[in-house]
Chain A
Amino acid sequence: MKLESLKAAVLSLLFLGLFLGIWHLATLPKGEAQSAHDEYAKLLGKGTKKSEGFPSLAQMGEAAAAQLKDPLYDRGPNDKGIAIQLGHSLGRVAAGYALAMLFAVPLGFLIGMSPLLHSALNPFIQVLKPISPLAWMPLALYTIKDSSVSGVFVIFICSVWPMLINTAFGVASVRREWLNVARTLEVTPFRKAFAVILPAAAPTILTGMRISIGIAWLVIVAAEMLVGGTGIGYFVWNEWNNLNLTNVIFAILVIGVVGMLLDFAIGRLQKAVTYIE
């Protein structure tokens, strides 16, 4: 087992090396052959100092080092450190996600417990679920009149469905025999909900929450690109407008790592409530 994971790690490093190697080779300055045309290049305004297309690994390293050296700088609305931008994004995701949880878990509980409510609300859920969360943005901006809060709303609306559906499903599929045990023990409804149904449905609820956090992190980038102002999504768009590809690539990497960490955190939580039957 240990040997297997060691092998896998070595292989992973090998793949990374291969990828970086290809990148490095692909972005090598075109050496001797081009130097003959240097004069011509200068004439065309393509000085050697200027960035030439896709950034090289060295340029990436410099940009990353510069960003990480001072992640908290703030030089006006269009120039903030990566950590500040990330903080804004994470704050919006946290707010929208928490609101979604407060709304979806109790409602999902009710839907799961009552087949009537399930049938009554299911058409709405089925229609609302496939709507791209960004489609809500104009409506949100019009009604809320605040771009940052609209972002929170968009996160809310995209994280609510997986949580709602999974909670309802988890609650509805609690094993009948556990409910019968509770019934024969004359357990109060409150205690039944918290001591039997909630722990029984917790793994399914957490599955929904894990899907939601993934979607929320996908959506926040797009939402911030759209409304601008602050956030990692806005940062990416801003750097694109600056034609600073190194910063764009660096931000992409950061988005990936943060997304992974968010998923990892909920995954740990999920593991903690999962039981073996």
Chain B
Amino acid sequence: MSFLQIESLARRYGPTTVFEQVGFTMEKGEFVCIVGHSGCGKTTILNILAGLDAASAGTVVMDNREVAGPSLDRGVVFQGHALMPWLSAMSNIAFAVKSRWPHWNRIQVQTHCQKFIDLVGLTGAEHKKPAELSGGMKQRVGIARAFAIQPKMLLLDEPFGALDALTRGTIQDELLRICEATRQTVFMITHDVDEAILLADKILLMSNGPNACIAEIVENTIAKPRDRHSIHHDEQYYRIRNHLVDFLVNRSKLYQSGELRRPAQPPYVRPGLHGVASARIVNLRH
């Protein structure tokens, strides 16, 4: 039994079906990215995993328990950092820590928070309010807050979307380092193909919405640890990248028109290896 099991998940708003027949599994310690155009329901899937939204059909089972409602077992990093502006960076994290361990005393909370502030490289900025922090620092606080409750799974909704390329790179490195150190299970939404290849072990490709589905699951065949500075020299890098871009530019829209068949189980694809990918894709046409 996988750590996370999602079966035939669907979300409908009135007559509109955002997505249906979404099913995939995640193992403990796995980093999964989901890629797709706006409107395909990525955030809705993440919200369902977080327990903030309810599915119209299907089930989510994490660690042998069905997900029904929010839980401290799943930490969420929100798209717009969602820090409380009246609290300092430290207090924002402490708010989460006190929720997780209500019986801890002040010193325990403080030490725990400091550990995670140091982990995301915010030492010295503990007592600043969010308004005094840069966009990158705010997002780091958000990440520290999610990590600090030591959830079984981390859910990241386009956490670096609003950041400049340089800051994004640094925080990606930090996230990679922390995840490797803590063996954290992560589910992340991104629009950035390069980010997905750097971070993810598995990349879920979603077709365009409405009536979206998971069209393929791309395995990242570049060995860990992956390094931002050298990853593009790996011979697999551009094969995977081209495959992802191809999907987003050309194939993602073909599922709505029926030119490509919605798979009952999304096929696993390993771009560039043994020609598996191209063979599979061709087979799907009819």
Task: Name A residues whose Cβ lies closer than 8 Å to a Cβ of B.
Answer: 175, 177-178, 180-181, 183-187, 191, 195-196, 199-200, 202, 273, 275-277
The reply to whether the CB of B137 lies closer than 8 angstroms to some CB of chain A is: no
Closest to A196 in B: B84
Asked if B95 and A185 sit within 8 Å, CB to CB, the answer is yes
Partner among A178, A191, A275 whose Cβ is within 8 Å of the Cβ of B82: A178
Contact A184 B74, CB 8 Å, known A177-B80, A195-B95: yes
Contacts of A185 in B (CB 8 A): 70, 72, 95-96, 99-100, 149
Asked if B50 and A184 sit within 8 Å, CB to CB, the answer is yes
* Distance of A175 Cα from B131 Cα, bound (Å): 16
Asked if B52 and A180 sit within 8 Å, CB to CB, the answer is yes
Contacts of A199 in B (CB 8 A): 84, 86
Asked if A184 and B129 sit within 8 Å, CB to CB, the answer is no
> Shortest Cβ distance from A114 into chain B, in angstroms?
20
Q: Mark B110-131, 1 if CB is under 8 A from A, else 0.
A: 0000000000000000000111
Q: Mark B62-90, 1 if CB is under 8 A from A, else 0.
A: 00000000111011101010101110000
Asked if A184 and B75 sit within 8 Å, CB to CB, the answer is yes
Contacts of B80 in A (CB 8 A): 177
Name B's interface SS: loop
Contacts of B86 in A (CB 8 A): 199-200, 202, 273, 275
Contacts of B272 in A (CB 8 A): none
A185, A273, A275, A277 — which one has the most chain B CB atoms within 10 A of its CB? A185
> Shortest Cβ distance from B95 into chain A, in angstroms?
7
* Distance of A273 Cα from B87 Cα, bound (Å): 11
> Shortest Cβ distance from A33 into chain B, in angstroms?
68
* Distance of A194 Cα from B119 Cα, bound (Å): 30
The reply to whether the CB of B58 lies closer than 8 angstroms to some CB of chain A is: no
Contacts of B70 in A (CB 8 A): 183-186
The reply to whether the CB of B51 lies closer than 8 angstroms to some CB of chain A is: yes
Partner among B72, B78, B96 whose Cβ is within 8 Å of the Cβ of A180: B78
Partner among B52, B76, B99 whose Cβ is within 8 Å of the Cβ of A187: B99
Contacts of A202 in B (CB 8 A): 86
Partner among B82, B99, B100 whose Cβ is within 8 Å of the Cβ of A177: B82
Contacts of B96 in A (CB 8 A): 181, 185
> Shortest Cβ distance from A56 into chain B, in angstroms?
53
Asked if B85 and A186 sit within 8 Å, CB to CB, the answer is no
* Distance of A191 Cα from B98 Cα, bound (Å): 11
Query: 6 A-B Cβ contacts within 8 A?
Result: A175-B82, A181-B82, A184-B70, A186-B70, A186-B72, A195-B95
Closest to A185 in B: B99
